[in-house]
Chains A and B, each alone.
Chain A
Amino acid sequence: MSGSARTKTIALIGNPNTGKSSVFNALCAMNARIGNFPGVTVEKKLGRYQFAEEEVSVIDLPGTYSLSARSADEQVAVDVLLGRRADVPPLSGVVVIVDATNIQRNLYLFSQVRELGLPMILVLNMWDRAEAEGIELNVDELQKRLNLPIVTTSAHRRQGMDQLREAIRRLDDVPKTTFTEIFPSVFSEECSKLAELCKREWNQDIPWPQIRRGVLDVGGSWEQSQEQQFGNRFRDQLAAVRLRLSEAQCRVPAIETRVRYGWIREVLDGVLRQRPERTFTLSDRFDRFLTHRFFGVVFFIFVMLLVFQAIYSWYEPITGLIEGGIAWLTSLVEGAMAPGAMQSLLVDGVIGGVGAVLVFLPQIMLLFFFIAIMEDCGYMARAAFLMDKIMTRFGLSGKSFLPLMSSFACAVPGIMATRVIDQRRDRMITILIAPLMSCSARLPVYVLLVSAFVPKKVWLFGLIGTQSLVLLLMHCVGVVIAIPVALLLKKWFFPGEAAPFVMELPSFKWPSAWVIIFRVWERVKAFLQNAGTLILLTTIVIWGAGYFPGDHTALNALTMQLDELEARSVDSNSEDSVSNEELEGSNAIEPADALLARINHEKSRLIEESYLGRAGKFLEPAVRPLGWDWRIGIGAIASFPAREVIVATLGTIYSLGGDVTDTEEGSTALQTALKSATWPDGRQVYNLPVAFSIMVFFALCAQCGATLVIIKRETNSWRWPIFTFIYMTGLAYLGAFLTYQLGSLFVS
Chain B
Amino acid sequence: MRSASGLHEIKVGEAARIVSIEGDDAVALRLMEMGLTDGEVIEVMGASPFGDPVEYSVRGYRLVLRRKEAERVQVERIQSQLTDRKD
Binding site for B on A (CB under 8 A): 65-66, 68, 70, 101-102, 104-105, 108, 218-219, 251-254, 256-258, 261, 274-284, 287-288, 291-294, 296-297, 381, 385-386, 388-390, 392, 499-507
Contact, CB under 8 Å: B69 / A500: yes
- What is the minimal beta-carbon distance from A635 to any residue of chain B, in angstroms? 44
| Count of CB-CB pairs between chains A and B under 8 Å | 143
Per-residue interface assignment for chain B, residues 13 to 52, with 1 indicating a CB less than 8 Å from any chain A CB and 0 otherwise: 0010000010011111111111101100101011111111
Complex partner residue of B64 from A102, A252, A505, CB under 8 angstroms: A505
A253 touches B51 (CB 8 A): no
Q: What residues on A are CB-neighbors of B30 within 8 Å?
A: 65-66, 70, 499-500, 502
Q: Let me know if A505 and B65 touch, CB within 8 A.
A: no
Residue in A284, A288, A500 whose Cβ sees the most chain B Cβ within 10 Å: A500
If A105-B61, A254-B24, A389-B50 touch, does A282 touch B85 (CB 8 Å cutoff)?
yes
Across-interface contacts of A70 in B (CB, < 8 A): 26, 30
Chain B interface, number of residues (Cβ within 8 angstroms): 46
Is B53 in contact with A389, judged by CB distance below 8 angstroms? yes
Can you show 12 pairs from A to B with CB atoms below 8 A apart? A104-B35, A105-B34, A254-B32, A278-B80, A278-B82, A278-B83, A279-B83, A279-B85, A280-B85, A287-B45, A389-B48, A500-B30
CB nearest neighbor in B for A288:
B46
Whether the pair B37, A291 counts as a contact (CB closer than 8 A) is no
Closest approach, in angstroms, between the C-beta of A241 and any C-beta of chain B?
15
Contact A499 B26 (CB under 8 A): yes
The answer to whether B66 and A388 have CB atoms under 8 Å apart is yes
List, in ascending order, chain B residues with CB within 8 A of A101's CB: 60
Q: Tell me the dominant secondary structure on chain B's binding face.
A: mixed
Specify which chain B residues have a CB less than 8 angstroms from the CB of A278 in the assembled complex.
15, 41, 43, 57, 80-83
8 Å CB contact of A65 from B33, B62, B84: B33
Inter-chain CA distance A721–B4, complex, in Å, is 50
- Choose among A218, A219, A254 the residue with the greatest number of B CB atoms under 10 Å from its CB: A254
Across the interface, do A261 and B35 meet the contact criterion of CB distance under 8 Å? yes
Q: B10 at the A/B interface (Cβ < 8 Å)?
A: no
- What's the least CB distance linking A538 to chain B, in Å? 40
Contact A504 B32 (CB under 8 A): no
Q: How far is the CB of B79 from chain A (nearest CB, A)?
A: 11
> B49 and A503: CB pair below 8 A?
no
- Residues of A contacting B69 in the complex (Cβ-Cβ under 8 angstroms): 500-502
* Contact assessment for A504 and B63 in the assembled complex, using a CB-CB cutoff below 8 Å: yes
Cβ–Cβ contact A68 & B33, under 8 A: yes
Cβ contacts under 8 Å, A258 to chain B: 32, 37-38
Contact of B83 among A280, A291, A385, A392 (CB under 8 A): A280
Q: Are B41 and A291 in contact (CB under 8 A)?
A: no
Of all chain A residues, which has the CB nearest B87?
A: A282
The 10 closest A-B pairs by CB, nearest first: A389-B50, A257-B32, A505-B62, A500-B27, A279-B85, A503-B64, A500-B30, A293-B49, A105-B35, A66-B33
Complex CA–CA separation, A351 to B57 (angstroms): 56
For the complex, is B55 an interface residue (Cβ under 8 Å from A)? Answer: yes
Name the distance in Å between A380's Cβ and chain B's nearest Cβ. Answer: 12
Question: What CA separation (Å) do A282 and B66 show in the bound complex?
Answer: 24
Q: Find B29's partner among A257, A277, A381 (CB 8 Å cutoff).
A: A257
A248 to B65, CA, bound (A): 32
| CB-defined contacts of B82 to chain A, threshold 8 Å | 278-280
